Chain A
């Protein structure tokens, strides 16, 4: 991580340095997305929607038309845009609270309607913006502000398996994957594939991104990385879950 890679062309220079905390995974996920937008040459027709949660800090992140919506409601706003103008490439960017809790009905229904949009969900295992409460993705035993003694699966269930669920309810042609900010190249490839899925009108595309939140995890750099690379994959399997038959694997 020593050298600073060039900014994707679709990033907005004027709004950099970005507003995320140091060590936050959001910026890395948005780098992958920016690179994908550049590679596909779709900056002029992309609409980026961001949710409430730390994703809202991206409201001026790209040189791309952007709508910052309400908590959980980015999916329907993007569905509305896409239905009204199918030429646009619509990206709904949200947190795990936004996508799996308050906006779960929208995610599930957009997926089962096979809406031609791309949903990108940042899994940081908790509600970051509100100060670190339990999210549907909080892992068993994990301490958060609302599970101060650790999440007890007896009381509050097991971590949501979002991509697995979306893969089950979408028809063939949809694209579903789980990436991680620790594998930027793979993540970018997933983003390209998800966006291509939309561009070719094949179906709904969804990527959950395992991400970091050192601020609420209260971890130093090394602990942050080991939480992401060792703990999270115990519950969240990285890889492509649903790919059109014609395509190969995005793994390196």
Chain B
């Protein structure tokens, strides 16, 4: 890997977007392709300031279709390439992501969610869950990490590059503008110093030798003659995806063993949910907390166990049931009571969640 970007462990106070740029550098990302959109702009701003110092590259493209497709090209050239986007940009990027998904390319994107279409609200929502997890014309064979704080933004941005190249599925860090724009303390580090290995890259095109003479040509396609041909390719991909689900899926839970009400949330909302749970526990209320870190694949088994134990779940999210739908699918057949607490496009305070929990428990 290239020279060390971060010497030793460093305590810093940074915005989330800056954290992502440092993480990408530390992970050895070699090129970023991007198109301006709030609230991810500063990822590009920091990247363009830092990248030349470490011999890394950047291309500002004409739109997010291009940002996505150039990222596909960068990856196929064998580079740790990535992009970042949000909202309407994420919508456009679903097309290149579909290509990456169908070809099993280690495409990495940082999604910093904002609200609604067009300009909508430019700072916050959790409305890009379905699109990031299941968007495009494919089967959603993607890995999506939903981060809750800046330390995680750093850790999972690094991890995304490893995951993508290890399993060859498009990999996303899903955050939001609150995380992107807010400053928080965290520790940044060189992954190698902590013994964190990042999978090697390997070119799809331009390998040594003359195709047809020294080696077969790399012929990469998404065109199939008959339905069965596509079906067979997908069978393999689906089998691979299912076989890695347990290894890849991650979650965080607290006080869920004897909980009578389980609060389920992801991303920045999970912080409020966790604080609420802690406070309610101190007051003697049997509330538990469960947070999927990977929204795809979901940590289905531990989720089912926690939900079944509690018998009731309060699903809290800044969208109208996007996490909710994913959970229902994962929990199909479970008898626990499902109580939604949806505020599309709006954040949550711990107090609000506490109040709702108290209503439900007493």
A191 vs B22: C-alpha distance when bound (angstroms) = 43
Contact of B62 (CB < 8 Å), options: A70, A81, A109: A109
Count contacts between A and B, CB distance < 8 Å.
140
* Interface hub of A65, A84, A85, A108 (most chain B Cβ within 10 A): A84
* Interface hub of A45, A64, A88 (most chain B Cβ within 10 A): A64
A43 at the interface (CB under 8 A from B): yes
Chain B interface residue count, Cβ-Cβ cutoff 8 angstroms = 43
Report A-chain residues with C-beta under 8 Å of the C-beta of B209: 44
Could you tell me if A105 and B223 are in contact, using CB atoms closer than 8 angstroms?
Answer: no
A76 at the interface (CB under 8 A from B): yes
A67 at the interface (CB under 8 A from B): yes
Stretch at the interface among A55-63, A162-170, A200-208, A223-231: A55-63
Could you tell me if B73 and A78 are in contact, using CB atoms closer than 8 angstroms?
Answer: yes
A45 vs B220: C-alpha distance when bound (angstroms) = 16
Smallest beta-carbon distance B225→chain A, Å: 10
Contact of B206 (CB < 8 Å), options: A87, A108, A109: A87
B99 at the interface (CB under 8 A from A): yes
Could you tell me if A76 and B211 are in contact, using CB atoms closer than 8 angstroms?
Answer: no
A60 vs B210: C-alpha distance when bound (angstroms) = 15
Report B-chain residues with C-beta under 8 Å of the C-beta of A82: 73
Of residues 102 through 123 on chain A, the ones whose CB sits less than 8 Å from some CB of chain B are 105-106, 108-109
A186 at the interface (CB under 8 A from B): no
Contact of A73 (CB < 8 Å), options: B76, B96, B221: B96
Contact of A65 (CB < 8 Å), options: B33, B205, B213: B205
A59 vs B204: C-alpha distance when bound (angstroms) = 15
Could you tell me if A70 and B69 are in contact, using CB atoms closer than 8 angstroms?
Answer: yes
Stretch at the interface among B46-54, B77-85, B322-330, B350-358: B77-85
Report B-chain residues with C-beta under 8 Å of the C-beta of A52: 223
Smallest beta-carbon distance B11→chain A, Å: 34
B218 at the interface (CB under 8 A from A): yes
Report B-chain residues with C-beta under 8 Å of the C-beta of A43: 210-212
A209 vs B210: C-alpha distance when bound (angstroms) = 28
Given A63-B211, A67-B205, A70-B99, check contact A80 B220 (CB 8 Å). Answer: no
Residue ranges of A at the interface with B (Cβ–Cβ < 8 Å): 10, 12, 43-45, 47, 52, 56, 59-60, 62-70, 73, 76-85, 87-88, 105-106, 108-109
Known pairs A70-B96, A78-B73, A84-B79; list 6 more (Cβ under 8 Å).
A43-B210, A65-B205, A83-B73, A84-B57, A87-B206, A88-B205
